[in-house]
Structures are given as structure tokens and as C-alpha cells.
Amino acid sequence: MNPRTTLLDTLRTTPLLDPRRTLPVMAELLAWWAALAVLWLVFISTVDPLELAVGAGAAAVGALAARAARRAVTGR
């Protein structure tokens, strides 16, 4: 390994730790999660804490699936 390689360089070459790459991914997932959580909130009949917790979990799973589907469609 090049001795001049700094910690930041190591971070940047590791895809999961590079802030320039993780930030857009997190932003996209958060946007999907927010949209799906709002959809759940609209579609349920009674709002109570348990329903909200289940909705947040389902929206998280849905956000991962939605990003995977979006990547499969746009081909990136």
C-alpha cells in the first residue's frame, strides 16, 4: 500500500464508507421511506402507535425494494 495513502483515501475507495457515495444513497432511501410512510398513514383506518410502528417498518422494506427496482429499470 502506498505510504502516503491517508485514512480519507481508504474511506473513499471503500464503497460503503465513502461519504460522497453513501450520502445520495441514504437521501434516496429516506425519500422513498418518507413517501411510503405517508402513503401508509393515509391508507390506514385508525392511527395508533402500533400501526405507526408497523408502517415505519413496512416503509423501510419498501424503500429498499423501491430503490432496487429503480436501479433495475434505469440500468445503473
Q: Which stretch binds another protein (CB under 8 A): 9-17, 29-37, 39-47, 64-72?
A: 39-47
One of 1, 4, 24, 45 touching another protein (CB under 8 A): 45
Burial of 51 (0-12, 13-18, 19+ CB in 10 A): middle
Q: Minimum Å distance from CB 55 to another protein?
A: 13
Closer CB to another protein, 41 or 56, in the complex = 41
CA distance 30 to 64: 10
Would you put residue 6 in left (φ > 0), alpha (ψ -120 to 50) or beta? beta
Residue 41 makes contact with another protein by CB under 8 A = yes
